Structure formats: C-alpha cells, structure tokens
Amino acid sequence: MSSLENNLSKLSDLLNRFRATGIANRIAGQDHPGSAGSFETISPVDKSVICSVAQGNAADIDRAAQAAKDAFPAWRDMPALERKKILLNIADAIEARAEEIALCECWDTGQALRFMSKAAIRGAENFRFFADKVTSARDGQTLQSPTLMNVTTRTPIGPAGVITPWNTPFMLSTWKIAPALAAGCTVVHKPAELSPLSARLLVEIAEEAGLPPGVWNTVNGFGEDAGKALCEHPAIRAIAFVGESRTGSLIQKQGADTLKRVHLELGGKNPVIVFDDADLDRALDAVIFMIYSINGERCTSSSRLLIQENIREDFEARLIERVNQIKVGHPLDPDTVIGPLIGEEHFKKVTSYFDIAKEDGATIAAGGETLGNEGYFVRPTLFTDANNDMRIAREEIFGPVLTSISFKDEVEALAIANDTPYGLTGYLWTNDLTRALRFTDKLEAGMIWVNSENVRHLPTPFGGVKASGIGRDGGDWSFEFYMEQKHIGFAMGDHHISQLGA
Ligand code: NAD
C-alpha cells in the first residue's frame, strides 16, 4: 500500500464517525443541535460532503455564553497548579492524537499533510507553553511611593469569545484558546464554517483531558449570525478574532455597544525584500517557502517579492525553475506541497487574479492555471513585470501566488514595502548590518525577520499594524489581552489626607 493509500484508509475510519454523528455544538459538556438547523462541510479535495454541522445562531450563543459565565468563577479560582496540570494533559492528548488531527485537517482544508502534521504538534506546544505560564499569569509589580505601597495584580477578564478562520484552524484555535484558559478565562469558540472538523476534535480532547464542563464551549455556524451574536453578547468580555481585515472592522462595530475588548489578527500583503548583497541561495529558498507552503493561505506569507533591479533577471529565472517543480497534488500524499484551495468561492477569487494580472500588464511567468476538475487545485503562480500600483500587488490574494516587483535602491525598496494598507510581516535579505538596522526601523510591520523565513518563537509578540490588526499575542502579551490590570495602594503610615469642609 502506498503512503497515500495508507493515509486514505486511516482517514476513512475517522470520517465514518463524523458521517454517523455529524458535528454538534458543544455547550457545558453536552452536544446540542443547531437552533438554525445544519449545514454541510465539503472537502476541497474532491468536493464531496464530509458531514453535517450544527448551525448555531443567537440562541445557541446565548446558551454557550451563559455556560461560560457559570463556569468562570470556579475556573478562575482553581489553584494554578491544577489548571496547569489540565493544560498539560490537553497538550499530551493533542500529541497522542496528532495524526488523526492532521488527517482530518488536510481533508477539511486541503492543506498538505507535511505542514498539517507540524501544525498539530504546534497546537500541543501552544498548550504546553501557556501551561508553564499559568503560575505567573497573575503576577504584578510593586510601584512604591513615599506614602503608599502600590501593587498591581492581574485577574482574568471573564468569558472570552474566540472566532477563528478556515486556514490552519487547529493551530490557530490553540494559539487563541490556550492563553485564555491559562489566564483563567472561560471560552466560547466559533470556528470557521468552512473547516469545522478539528475544532470538534479539540474541544473533545480538552474535556477528556479533564477540563470542567462549560469552561470551553464550541458553537458552529456562520459569521453574520453566530459570530455576530458572540460579539454582541453582554456576558462575553473580550473577542479574540483571526480573519479578514474587513471582518475585523465589523467585529469592532458589533462589539461596540457592549464595550468589548477586541484583539484582531487580520490580513497581510507582506513584502520580502531581497538586496543584491544577500545570500541569494538562502533567500531563494525562503521566498519560495514563505508563499508556496500552506497553499499560500497564510496571513504571514510573503506575497510581494521586492527584488533589486540588478539581480532581478537571474533571481526570477531561478525562481521560475523552482516554482515549476513544486508538486501540487492530494494533500494526504506525503510528497505534496500544494493541495487544493479551501473552496469554490476562494478558488474563484484566487484564479480571478490570473486575468487581473494580464489586464494590469504583468506577465504570468509561472502557473496561472487550474488543475483538473475534481477539486480546487491551482498551479503555484508567479507574476513578474509588476508594479506596486497593480491589484496583484495591493490585494491579499491568499493563495500560492507571488507578485515580483523590482527596485533600484534602499529608498525605493522601503517606499514600495510600506505602500500598502497592511502591516503584518516583513522579510529582509541583506548582509549589510547598518542597512538592516535602518530598514527594519522604518518598515511598517508588526513582525520582521532578517535573513530568515518566518520562525515563530512563542515568547515573542505576534501581531500586525495598520489594517493587519490590533493587539499582540505571545508570551506575556497574551495575558495583557485576557486579563485585567488592577492597582491597589496600601498606605504605609498616617500621611496627610486632604480635608474638605473641616
Ligand atoms: P473571515 O474574516 O471571512 O472569517 C473568519 C471568521 O470570522 C469565521 O469564523 C467567520 O465565520 C467569522 N465571521 C465572519 N463574519 C463575521 C461577523 N460579522 N461577525 C463575527 N464573526 C464573523 O476570514 P477567513 O476567510 O476565514 O480567513 C482568511 C483571512 O484570515 C485572511 O485575510 C487571512 O490573512 C486572515 N488571517 C490572519 C491571521 C493573523 O494572524 N493575522 C492568521 C490567519 C488568517
């Protein structure tokens, strides 16, 4: 049996279970049907129906928010070491079921197994990392004055809403939910309607690992219905959102009446800037990895290549040769790099840029084609002869599609890099240290890597500027979002008290 056949046979057993039961909402440790009925989740690999999914609405969100509110005091007050133990159990259980998670994720999202196997393990790491921080989450500072011993403490903000997108949904859900639980918050999770399988596995794993009922509730459904109700619910104190920039703006509006704290991780049109003094072999590897891995359906992908004019021809020629060799195929084939795009609407959007590129006067130097009719497959694509005013350089395509733009010098490179509504990541390739210092200082992005692809280190801040988001995750930054700061001043003696009317 080939590896692909072997993986398909394992997947078939896993899917039978979903086909038999569908995916219910999970509220206070119980399964609930959706108050708005159900919808079907479709595999992008062959457009087949995977299973039915409960379609939640405001009534289900209300039930889940109430469950999260009821469970909050006991979870908040649980001794830190007990809470830490449960989070570590969740991490262990994710690791034990990593293969199952990865196979389901590939079938539901179209992402290649080689990346989703790592993403499942990263989900376990997220839990382990924040479990280790549970005991210090409430730590504050002393800020002494001559008369007062001022101390700060932190307390969990309360029930939090977590809304996640369809790309790498498992990893992103753990990235949001693990710190919320570590802080002592309870959670209502609204997964993306296009890829709900792994969210179901995740909440099950958490409950089996000892998480008390109601601490983590999952309501499936559509954004304008279940998602909106979550943002508007008065018992939910904060919304952690990952998704498109225009949805992020809606989240803020919907949360305004109840004065929600919001954390927004949004889209990007991230530049990778390659100067002629860089290590061009490594730069080439990184350019390819950062746009063609994870189907390019990745917020941190470097979708704009800014290449210095004097090395452009040679670099693009090498790029075209490599891009044409990237394997597009079945996501469960271990050799596959690019699987199908998530679904029909997104497929139409991504492929529409093939015509837009031509209309704008760019050249399709590689790809620019779909593949077969069975699923939503596209060839990895490279646009050359582009400039930064073209739509292919300004809009987030969110697929395996790279736009190459040349620049003369550092001043022009910086101007092009910053000429975008977004500001999530930037990647700089140069061996000139002082240029790297100047450039990174002025580059408008929340995260920048110099002479490297994107390598996440969990204690560092993750987030974007401009239309790419508000707020930061990672390390202690996650706790700043999920916790309230409190100041308490203790008088150290009988200092003068202001007297009125004495
Ligand atoms: P999306 O904004 O369409 O949907 C994200 C989630 O929001 C889904 O669960 C959806 O149901 C929900 N939603 C939609 N409308 C809503 C509303 N009115 N109220 C509440 N919830 C609503 O995004 P998507 O298409 O699922 O994901 C792709 C986008 O996510 C891309 O733009 C990508 O860059 C971005 N993304 C950003 C990051 C990051 O960390 N910055 C990470 C991954 C993805």
What's domain 18-266+464-487's architecture?
Answer: 3-Layer(aba) Sandwich (3.40)
Answer whether 250 contacts ligand 1 (Cβ < 6 A): yes
Answer whether 236 contacts ligand 1 (Cβ < 6 A): no
Atom 13 (ligand 1) nearest CA: 223
Answer whether 423 contacts ligand 1 (Cβ < 6 A): no
Answer whether 225 contacts ligand 1 (Cβ < 6 A): no
User: Do 446 and 468 touch, CB atoms closer than 8 A?
Assistant: yes
Sequence-distant (≥ 6) Cβ neighbours of residue 313 within 8 angstroms? none
| Candidate of 162, 167, 424, 466 to mutate for ligand 1, largest count of ligand atoms within 8 Å of Cβ | 167
Q: Which atom of ligand 1 is nearest to the CA of 194?
A: 26
Sequence-distant (≥ 6) Cβ neighbours of residue 142 within 8 angstroms? 149, 150, 151, 152
pLDDT of the residue at 18: 96
Q: Which helix (H) or strand (E) holds 470?
A: strand 469-470
Strand, coil or helix: 264:
strand
Q: Which helix (H) or strand (E) holds 306?
A: strand 304-308
- pTM surpassing 0.75? yes
Strand, coil or helix: 328:
strand
What would the two tokens of residue 259 be? 């004065």
Nearest to 189 by CA among 198, 460, 306: 198
Count the residues in the chain.
502
Which amino acid does the sequence have at 37?
A: G
Domain spans in the chain, listed from the N-terminal domain onward = 18-266+464-487, 271-450
Distance of alpha carbon 420 from the chain centroid: 21
Backbone angles phi, psi at 475, to 5 degrees: 50, -135
Secondary structure of 119-172 in HEC code, one letter for each residue: HHHHHHHHHHHHHHCHHHCCCCCECCCCCEEEEEEEEECCCEEEECCCCCHHHH
Cα 202 to Cα 217: distance, rounded to the nearest angstrom: 11
Nearest to 453 by CA among 298, 321, 317, 314: 298
Report the first-to-last Cα separation within the chain, whole angstroms. 92
Angle at 351 between CA 348 and CA 356, to 5 degrees: 115
pLDDT of the residue at 359: 97
- Number of Cβ within 10 Å of residue 323's Cβ equals 22
Domains 18-266+464-487 and 271-450 alike in fold: no
pLDDT of the residue at 1: 84
CA 326 to ligand 1 centroid distance, Å: 28
- Number of Cβ within 10 Å of residue 56's Cβ equals 31
Give all strands of the β-sheet with 401-407 in edge-to-edge order. Answer: 363-366, 381-386, 401-407, 304-308, 271-274, 425-429, 447-450
Walk along the chain (502 residues) in steps of 10 and give the mean pLDDT of each run.
95 95 98 98 98 98 98 98 98 98 98 98 98 96 95 98 98 98 98 98 98 98 98 98 98 98 98 98 98 98 98 98 98 98 98 98 98 95 98 98 98 98 98 98 98 97 98 97 97 92 88
Cα 161 to Cα 238: distance, rounded to the nearest angstrom: 6
Class of domain 271-450: alpha beta
Cα 82 to Cα 63: distance, rounded to the nearest angstrom: 27
User: Do 119 and 170 touch, CB atoms closer than 8 A?
Assistant: yes
